[in-house]
Every structure is written in C-alpha cells, then in structure tokens.
Amino acid sequence: MQRIRLRYTKRGRLRFTSHRDFQRAFERALRRAEVPMAYSAGFTPHPKVSYAGAAPTGVGSEAEYLEIALAKARDPEPLRALLDASLPAGLDVVEAVEVRTPGLAERLEASVWQLRLDGVEPQDVRRAAAVFLAADTVEVQRDTKNGVRTFDCRAAVTRLEVVDTDAVHNDADRPHDRACAILRLVVRHLTPAVRPDDVLSGLQIAADLAPPVPAAVTRLAQGPLDEESGTVTDPLAADRDAVAVPAGSA
C-alpha cells in the first residue's frame, strides 16, 4: 500500500465550503480520476483518506493537507494533476509527495494567517498589536456547544505584525480607494485552538481595535514551528528529503 500526502488550497468563493463539503468533493474527484484507493475493512468500506488541520469555513487557505492510501503505486505528480483537474477551481491540489516519514498531523504545530482589515488605518493596527503583544494574557470568550468558554488567546500568538500592502501580491487584497491594513500572525496549534477571529476579539479587548467590516482571512502556511525564528516551515520537506527505503529491505 502506497501513501501520498497532498497540499491543497481553498480560494475565492470556495473558502465558504465546509470541511464536510470538501470531503464530498474530494471523494468525487477520487472516483473521476480513477485513483486506485485502498479501502477500510468492514461492512461499510470507505476510501482511506486522513485529513489534518482543516481551516474553518469562510477562511481561505494556501496550505491544507491530507493523506491518501493507494492499493497500487502511482507517480505522485501525475496523480496530483488528475485530482486537481477533477476538483472545482478554487479547490486546487498544488503538491503531492510520497509518504516516507510518520506523523504529518503532529508536524502541523502552527499556522501563518493573513487578515485584511478594510476600513482600518495601518498605524491603528500597529498600535493595537503592540498593546496585545505587551500583555501577559488576553482572555476572550467563544460560544461552544457546551456554552460560553473563556480562554487566553495571547499565549498562542508567537508573531503579530502589520504588512505593507505593497508586499501583498494578490490585487484583490490591495484596495487603493480606502483605508486597509494587512495583519500577519503566527499562531500555535494549542488546545483549545486559537483562531484568527479569537485574536481579533483579543485586539478589541486589549486595545479597542474594532474593524468596521469582517476581516478577510487566509491561511498562508502551516507546519513545524521554528522556535528560534518564530517562523513556520514546510511540513512536507521531511518526505522530500527522506531517502526511499526499497521494499523488503527492512
């Protein structure tokens, strides 16, 4: 059984698809592309697909990951192209590598998020970010199925900075006719999970920053966290760098 790890995106209007919507679309793509999937045992066999670290509904992403198991070996790149062609535009499979190392989910230690705050001056966001980073704790509340939960969102944030809009290459993220600030942050994957909207709530609580319209949120990356530099590295690099072990050599 061969295992393949894939990186895919959620762009444009497809950011509003739920994780369950994506699962259905991906399983249809597997059938269209005639991928020789391995199936689970039992009365209701299902294709062996493992999802890791899915972004919330309404959030764009350049770095979503999953792993599939194949009954017959395939070259990862042609397989990627077939799956990409079988998915709607906006759900794009951009990378495929053969699994050579364990623990993809454990490798996803942090995410890089980009928030476009329309109607907000960059200097106001810089001031709020400085106040937030200087705080020891910033408690926020979130409605859950078990009621309102209070937790600290400050501990999860390792980096928080305002980015020059000229450095953002997507023209849709560079409005020129109104105030706009681009906020970029690195957030650890803790329990409970701290989401971008939690950090925005924290900025409002700590520094009275309240954007007039909802933020446009995009996950730029997720993977291992380099504690020294505070950056997020590529979770598939270990598979690319690992030396393949010939079958039967163990």
CATH number, position 51: 3.30.70.580
**Across 123-137, average pLDDT:** 97
DSSP string for residues in 62-127: EEEEEEEEESS---HHHHHHHHHHHS-TTS-EEEEEE--SS-HHHH--EEEEEEEEET--HHHHHH
pLDDT band with cut points at 50, 70 and 90 for residue 214: very high
pLDDT band with cut points at 50, 70 and 90 for residue 154: very high
CATH code where residue 168 lies: 3.30.70
Specify the higher pLDDT residue, 44 or 26. Answer: 26
Token pair 């990378």 is found at: 95
For position 250, what pLDDT does the model report? Answer: 37
How many domains does one find in the chain?
2
Give the range among 31-45, 108-122, 154-168, 212-226 with minimum mean pLDDT.
154-168
In a domain, 246, yes or no: no
Domain shared by 88 and 124, yes or no: no
Asked if the bond preceding 192 is cis, omega within 30° of 0, the reply is: yes
How confident is the prediction for the chain on average, in pLDDT? 92
With 50 as the cut, is the pLDDT of residue 247 above it? no
In a domain, 146, yes or no: yes
Give the range among 8-12, 177-181, 222-226 with minimum mean pLDDT.
177-181
Supply the range of the domain harboring residue 39.
Answer: 2-99
Contacts of 86 (CB under 8 A, 6+ apart): 28, 29, 30, 32, 33
Contacts of 185 (CB under 8 A, 6+ apart): 112, 113, 115, 157, 159, 160, 161, 196, 199
- pTM here? 0.90
pLDDT band with cut points at 50, 70 and 90 for residue 178: confident
Specify the higher pLDDT residue, 53 or 118. Answer: 118
Domain shared by 160 and 228, yes or no: yes
